[in-house]
Structure 1
Amino acid sequence: MNELLEVLRFQAPKFGAELSRTAYQRGLAVTQKDGTTRPIPITATPVILDAAEIRRRAELATKLSSATHKMAEAVLNGGSREVLLGALSPLERSIAERTFSHVARLATTRVDFFVDTGNQARALEINTTIPAMQGYSDIAARSFLEVVARHFNYPERAIHALLTLNGSNAMALYRALLDGYAAERDGKLPDTIALLCRRNDAQITELRYLCERFREFGADADVVHPDEVSGDDAFIVNGKKYELVYRHLFIRRLEETPSPWVEEFLGVVPGKKAVFLNPPTSQMEVKATFALLSQAVTDPALAEGAGLDASELEAIRVSVPWTRRFRSGPATGPGGEALDDLVAAVAAEPRRFVLKRSWDYGGKAVFLGRSVGSVPYNERAQALYGGPLTWAELCERAVSDPTGGGYVVQEVVETTPEEHLVCTDTGALPTSFFVDYSAYASVGLARQPAWGGVCRGSMGEIVNIVGGGGVLPLITTEVAHKLLMAWKAI
């Protein structure tokens, strides 16, 4: 749909400010520690994909999520459980040990992809602890479609149908939560839903948006905080009992501000005082688990031990770049070549590899070999190791650093920046963005809801919304065609 993109580039100065304001007012924002908010930039230029491709990526995410769940459980049931448990904080470890064998359903997961220069979606990592942005993605798409449709004189009465055609991750999340609850409670549906997060959570505007949507869908939903919760045999806030809890709360935040009641609640899966279907599963998100998935493609014993089926192995093969735990000693390289020493091989070819701490948030310990000497690379090295490091020096430090379970090494996914228009209060500015694609999925449900995806953009190759960057509206080809036809009819 290059023709629509050209129209949008020409028209963006006329609707960009309104799009920026609308998205911000709806909740496309980061909340600071003092409670103030700053907008997350939105682009006037969307990502346009066939609905079939969106479904295909969701199916890939489903297979990868299921495989990750199996692999993590197999490791924790085996003799190498420290590979995963050793990466976790004390409370994360305690909860993982108590709950991992009881985790049968995950209402929502998120797999983050880069689309390579061959137009193939390559999975970089999986998010299961707080796989957020269902709300942000809907805000971006909804705001874009409404603002642009009105600018193009699209019939007002038909805009809702356009939004429905494009899909909704908030609706998919709602369906996943209800279906999971019904599976746990003999077909019953919850009367009340609590969205649990800390006060002034960085993404609390997204949670408020989700809460509003859940209410529109028919649920009695509220955003609640750990210091409000009590109850001897139920999840109660201000005298109100909640039957289903959606957790948006990092376990490490509970270590910073302890809440014994919530810690006890999260230690029982799928919950006795209330059902919660996104339990803490740090063991799945640890990047060593992802490395083991990559290894399983060429290690039949590892694949069999985890119980991976043929479809899961195929999803890994086609989408997961070569990834290994970063350790000294012989290994098999990305092309199947024998390496005398993995660390020496990685140190010798910086442009080929990325180093990632196995358990960390926000890209703070991610190093691209080809970015050595750049400001982001040096800032990360300074923060972690006290000063700038060459790639060889970084490899030496990383292989001996046990923090967060050590590092994994991944073959770099070749991608190129894209030209987009970022909306501002005064219009739209041309920006060169690296764009990723995240696909949602569920684990253990009888059926998958109609998950879509979310696209983020950043001027750097390490994409993170809270640390900077923006959201690109994701729309289907069919929706894009309708907008183009409306423009041509003016």
Structure 2
Amino acid sequence: MIREWAERWTAALRSECGARDAALLRRRTSELGLVYGDRPVCQVLRPLFVPRSTYEDLIRRGELLVSAIHGAMEAALRDDTLMAALGFDRVETEIISADRGFGAADLVGRLDALPAPEGAPVFIEYNGESPGGLGFGDMLGLVFEEMEAWENLDGSSRFHRVAVVPSVIDAFLDGYRLWCRRLHKEPVERPKVAIVDLADVPTRTEFEIFRNAFELRGATTRIVSEDQVAIVDDRVLCGDFEPDIIYRRLVTMDILSRTGGRHALIEAARRQLAFVGCGFEGYGLCAKGHFAVLSDPELRPTGLSDEVLDMLDTSIPWTRLVRDVFTSGPGGGLQEPLEHLVQREKNRLVLKASRGYGGRDVILGWRTSKKDWQAAWETALEGSWIVQERVHLPEARFPVWTSDGIEEVTLHYDLAPYMIAGQCRGLGVRLSGSEILNVAAGRGSAVPALLVAD
């Protein structure tokens, strides 16, 4: 049925409305600021159709996985050796602990998942530190609902889109009120919100989507450069603006690279001077090493439920911390030196920096020479890396508008369920002609996901 809907949408574009829908997408993308830097976030003319049962399974498994990652983080914070193995030094550990206990650190998070033609989906990463793209996805969904192809297929009665921006706004406002109760403070009826990041980030137009959404709920909102944030007389100030809520989009890696880990946002979170949504523990939750902890029988926490264990065994790939150890390979078997296994099986393995983001520091064994793979292994041994079993990316044909009319291109895609205040909700979709699916990596695009009955 999914293939049939995709074919019918493309047929509608070919038969009558392709040029008009392509012009609509270009115009609305420009009007709504749906760009990454100066690049449109979407250049294809069809959404991704997803069976409702697939979505519901992703949601169920995703919530179990994130709960297990939280458990792994708790265990690591009690074990200095494990924290070091995950790559966190003393300064980073202090940052991660800055605001623990005041609500969900991953108030907004995103799982990266690959659906399988048969069997369970596979999750390969978790970004628990204020990921981007949610606002773009919602707005793209509205644009696609304006297309003639949508009308021709009677989309309003056949397809369902899960909007996530309203849920994000609810999460911040509810989280703020809960934070006030825990501190025995009276919440402000119309709180002020600061959306904080670097001044020149390419996702800045997405902040405007959230600013508008907050203001529709009565919250005065400003987009603030991180260097405008200061602590003055126990108050958080952004120039002449004193926020009650901070939507932190500034990632911890940028704080570390620019200041070595000192920032007014960290102080504000530690001293509870404002509600810092997307708290700093989210940085710890992002570590890809958690997948190794949950995959490796030698490291996996005890006390996990049968349901969680089944999910881990079926929905995360074989993953190991890069160390000089003996271990078994994908599928089990006898233990052997990890280095021997990695060199022998390079065509089915990926090396990833445990704390890399934006598609950086990902080395695909099957795309790498033996010499370079060995060098990558030696580099990984000196840092904090994981080695993970390759998961094949699904592909689909998507229509694009060219000078010759509608043509179809084959693109890889993934599904990205969002975590919002501890619950999985909504679905991002990323497309790429390469094997690294990330808009920030310069090779990605996005489309809305539409749920259809099985």
Structure 1 residues 129 and 99: alpha-carbon distance in aligned structure 2, compared to 1, 3 A threshold: same
Check if 1:133 corresponds to 2:125.
no
Check if 1:170 corresponds to 2:165.
yes
The AA in structure 1 aligned to 2:211 is C
Are 2:35 and 2:205, in contact at CA under 8 Å, matched by a contact in 1? yes
Which of 454, 473, 477 is the matching residue for 2:428? 454
Structure 1 residues 104 and 10: alpha-carbon distance in aligned structure 2, compared to 1, 3 A threshold: closer
Q: Which residue of 1 aligns with 2:342?
A: 346
Q: Which residue of 2 aligns with 1:3?
A: 4
Moved more, 317-326 or 225-234: 225-234
How far off is 1:440 after superposition?
Answer: 0.9
How far off is 1:93 after superposition?
Answer: 4.6
Q: Could you report, residue by residue, the CA deviation over 1:71-121 in whole angstroms, capped at 9, with x for unpaired residues?
A: 122112114144356356x86454125455767543111110112343631
Check if 1:436 corresponds to 2:414.
yes
Q: Which residue of 1 aligns with 2:272?
A: 272
3-state SS of paired residue (2:439): coil
Structure-to-structure mapping, 1:74-93, within 5 angstroms:
74-84=75-85, 86-87=87-88, 92-93=92-93
What CA distance in whole angstroms lies between the structure 1 residues aligned with 2:339 and 2:209?
46
Which of 361, 372, 386 is the matching residue for 1:365? 361
Structure-to-structure mapping, 1:32-47, within 5 angstroms:
37-47=38-48
Check if 1:391 corresponds to 2:366.
no
How far off is 1:287 after superposition?
Answer: 1.4
Q: Which residue of 2 aligns with 1:25?
A: 31
3-state SS of paired residue (1:185): helix
How far off is 1:131 after superposition?
Answer: 2.0
What CA distance in whole angstroms lies between the structure 1 residues aligned with 2:91 and 2:146?
44
How far off is 1:127 after superposition?
Answer: 0.3
What CA distance in whole angstroms lies between the structure 2 residues aligned with 1:283 and 1:105?
10
What CA distance in whole angstroms lies between the structure 1 residues aligned with 2:127 and 2:402?
30
Q: Which residue of 2 aligns with 1:387?
A: none
TM-score (norm 2): 0.86
The AA in structure 1 aligned to 2:24 is E
How far off is 1:129 after superposition?
Answer: 2.1
How far off is 1:400 after superposition?
Answer: 4.5
The RMSD of aligned alpha carbons is: 3.1
How far off is 1:457 after superposition?
Answer: 0.5
Q: Which residue of 1 aligns with 2:437?
A: 463
Which of 410, 413, 420 is the matching residue for 2:391? 413
| Unmatched 5+ stretches in structure 2 | none
3-state SS of paired residue (1:69): helix
Check if 1:209 corresponds to 2:209.
yes
| Unmatched 5+ stretches in structure 1 | 32-36, 373-389, 482-490
How far off is 1:409 after superposition?
Answer: 1.1
How far off is 1:416 after superposition?
Answer: 3.8
Check if 1:476 corresponds to 2:451.
yes
Moved more, 201-210 or 13-22: 13-22
What CA distance in whole angstroms lies between the structure 1 residues aligned with 2:336 and 2:377?
19
How far off is 1:340 after superposition?
Answer: 1.6
Are 1:65 and 1:109, in contact at CA under 8 Å, matched by a contact in 2? no
What CA distance in whole angstroms lies between the structure 1 residues aligned with 2:364 and 2:438?
15
Structure 1 residues 291 and 255: alpha-carbon distance in aligned structure 2, compared to 1, 3 A threshold: closer
What CA distance in whole angstroms lies between the structure 1 residues aligned with 2:235 and 2:122?
43
Q: Could you report, residue by residue, the CA deviation over 1:302-350 in whole angstroms, capped at 9, with x for unpaired residues?
A: 422xx64444333322211111112233202111112322221221122
How far off is 1:455 after superposition?
Answer: 0.5
How far off is 1:427 after superposition?
Answer: 6.1
How far off is 1:423 after superposition?
Answer: 5.2
Are 2:365 and 2:373, in contact at CA under 8 Å, matched by a contact in 1? no
What CA distance in whole angstroms lies between the structure 2 residues aligned with 1:271 and 1:453?
34
What CA distance in whole angstroms lies between the structure 2 residues aligned with 1:320 and 1:273?
38
Check if 1:320 corresponds to 2:294.
no
Moved more, 344-353 or 95-104: 95-104
How far off is 1:257 after superposition?
Answer: 4.6
Q: Could you report, residue by residue, the CA deviation over 1:426-460 in whole angstroms, capped at 9, with x for unpaired residues?
A: 965422111011111145x5xx3x71110001111
What CA distance in whole angstroms lies between the structure 1 residues aligned with 2:48 and 2:305?
32
Are 1:286 and 1:358, in contact at CA under 8 Å, matched by a contact in 2? yes
- Percent of matched pairs sharing the same residue: 24
What CA distance in whole angstroms lies between the structure 2 residues aligned with 1:310 and 1:269?
36
3-state SS of paired residue (1:430): strand
What CA distance in whole angstroms lies between the structure 1 residues aligned with 2:115 and 2:96?
33
